[in-house]
Structure formats: C-alpha cells, structure tokens
Amino acid sequence: MSGQVPAEFAAWRLAWADEFNGPAGSLADPATWRPETGGHGWGNSELQCYTGETANAALDGAGNLAITVARPDLRLAAARYGGCNYTSARLITKDLKSFRYGLVQARIKLPAGRGIWPAFWMLGTDIGTAGWPGCGEIDIMENFGTSPALVHGTAHGPGYSGDGGITASLDVGTPLAADFHVYSVCWEPGKIRWYAGQTLYHTLTPAGLHGRPWVFDHDFYLLINVAVGGRLSQHPDRSTAFPQAMLIDYIRLYTPAE
C-alpha cells in the first residue's frame, strides 16, 4: 500500500478508485461523475458559473482530472454564462456512485490566489428528502486562497451548518498549490477523522455535537469543485491568475481487510 495512506490503515484494502487516466480533453468517467451546472451563487453568493464544458473539467492526459477556473471576456460571460465573470466546474457522483464508511482519499494539487476556493467533499444521498444540512456534509478538504498553506476539514449538520460547521485546520507550512498533497477522511460509525498526508488534525464523534443530531451513518456521494469568491471567501483581485486548474491525481476508497 502507498506510503500516502496514514500508517494506522496499512492493513486496509483498496475497495474503489478513479485514477483519471485517459486521453487529454476527455471527460471524467460519465458512469461515475456528472456536472452540476449554473451560476446562481450556490447558497454562498459565489461568483462562478459551473459548466459542463471540457474547458472547465477534463482529463489532462497525464493521469489527472483538471478542474479549470477561467475568466471569459465580458460579452461571452453575458451571452453564455448568465453574466457570471468566472467559469469553473463542479463534478458529483450523485445517483451514480455512493459510499458508506471507509478511508476516502484524494491526491490533489490546488489552484491558488485570493478568491479561489477549491473543495473535495461529500453530501448525504438523502438530500432530496432530508434537505441540507439534514443530509449531512463532510468537507474532506477546503482551502481559501488568502491562506495558501491552510487546509480545512469540516462537518455540517442540523444546528451546526454554514458558519457554525464543526471545523479544524492545519497549516502544512508551505503553499498547498506548490505540489500535490493527499487529503483524507476516515469515516466510521460514530467517528470521522481528517488527515493531511500522515497528519491527523481533526476528530469528530457524536459527543462533540453536544446533543445535536449525528447525520453521518448512511450513504454519501462525492463532490469536487473550485468556487470563486463567495460569502466564506473573498473576491479575486488583480493578483489572482486566470485560467488555472485544480489537478486531481486520484480518488480512492479503502476499507478494512476482511
């Protein structure tokens, strides 16, 4: 097993993976991933329009999925993207691939800059009936461009959502955009642990919710995206480069060996 897996899971087995191998310009596996599209702010007053175009989400031919955030010219933004000044992609596995428990891990090289908000996360598959945050949300990795070395891991549920999510962060010491890093959660019944590389930096159990509902013992699906701006982030400024991409080398699920 790769040394990228925290040592306490060395005996676990690989149960599923997407390695993002394929020709440059091709879509991520449509049997696993589909785009969510639109530019309505996504509940956070975000500035981007998520598209289904390969210009914003495609394999790079070098073993990575590239999610590219770009700034189209003003006429194109008005005609094609509903007036949004930025384009990006948000890929999800909803209704295609879901999971319950395991070590969920991705190796990612982040984009950088003020207003750039990349994330790798999970939502409960019952979101259509339970709504959000009743379905539960597990944010495996988030980064805000104004803190280039800081990774955040957060859980959201009823009574602890949005700004009130239960969160922790780790300063890895160098900008996350400088190289690939591995981000993981170990998700078990009644416990979630967050890792950056080999470092455990956040643990949550029902006791940590102080009587609020634990909504994480059911199926979840994956999401990966790059947002721009938003209520929890900041607007880009002249220092922010466009276009740029988040590169995802792989996403893997490990489970205990039987």
User: Where do we find the tokens 């002249």?
Assistant: 238
Which stretches within the chain are classed as H helix?
Answer: 74-80, 127-130
Does the pLDDT of residue 54 top 70, yes or no?
Answer: yes
Distance CA 57, CA 88 (A): 8
Query: What was the pLDDT predicted at 3?
Result: 54
CB distance 253 to 102 below 8 Å: yes
User: Choosing from 53, 137, 188, 258, which is the catalytic residue?
Assistant: 137
User: Where do we find the tokens 């416990």?
Assistant: 191
Main-chain dihedrals φ then ψ at residue 207, nearest 5 degrees: -60, -30
The least confident of 7-16, 21-30, 90-99, 240-249 is 7-16
Question: Is residue 7 domain-resident?
Answer: no
Question: Is residue 146 domain-resident?
Answer: yes
Question: Is residue 9 domain-resident?
Answer: no
Neighbours of 211 (CB within 10 A): 7
Question: Is residue 58 domain-resident?
Answer: yes
> Strand runs (DSSP E) across 23-64, as ranges?
34-35, 48-50, 57-59
Question: Is residue 41 domain-resident?
Answer: yes
Question: Is residue 205 domain-resident?
Answer: yes
Residues 128-148 pLDDT 10s: 999 999 999 999 999 998 899
Burial of residue 210, with CB atoms counted within 10 A of its CB: 0-12 exposed, 13-18 middle, 19 or more buried: exposed
Q: Which amino acid, 159? A: G
Residues 61-100 pLDDT 10s: 999 999 999 999 988 889 999 999 999 999 999 999 999 9
Is residue 36 part of the annotated active site? The answer reads: no
CATH number of the domain encompassing residue 137: 2.60.120.200
Q: Mean pLDDT throughout 184-206?
A: 97
Closest CA to 157 of 221, 217, 214: 214
The least confident of 11-25, 110-124, 227-241 is 227-241
Task: Domain count for the chain, please give it.
Answer: 1
Mean pLDDT of the chain: 95
Question: Is residue 56 domain-resident?
Answer: yes
Question: Is residue 30 domain-resident?
Answer: yes
Distance CA 50, CA 67 (A): 10
Output the CA–CA distances (angstroms, integers) from residue 115 to 134, 150, 205, in the order listed: 28, 14, 32
Q: Mean pLDDT throughout 173-201?
A: 97
- For residue 229, what is the DSSP state? B
Half-sphere exposure of 180 (CA within 13 A, CB side): 15
Q: Mean pLDDT throughout 55-66?
A: 98
Is residue 137 part of the annotated active site? The answer reads: yes
Query: What was the pLDDT predicted at 177?
Result: 97
- For residue 27, what is the DSSP state? P
Does the pLDDT of residue 193 top 60, yes or no?
Answer: yes
- Expressed as residue numbers, the domain containing 207 is 20-247+250-254
Query: What was the pLDDT predicted at 222?
Result: 98
63, 152, 191, 222 alpha-carbon torsion, rounded to 10°: -40
Query: What was the pLDDT predicted at 37?
Result: 98
Token representation of residue 43: 């509940």
Per-residue pLDDT band for 1 (boundaries 50, 70, 90) equals: very low
Distance CA 71, CA 253 (A): 34
User: Choosing from 19, 53, 142, 188, which is the catalytic residue?
Assistant: 142
Query: What was the pLDDT predicted at 257?
Result: 86
Burial of residue 11, with CB atoms counted within 10 A of its CB: 0-12 exposed, 13-18 middle, 19 or more buried: exposed
- What percent of the chain has pLDDT above 70? 99
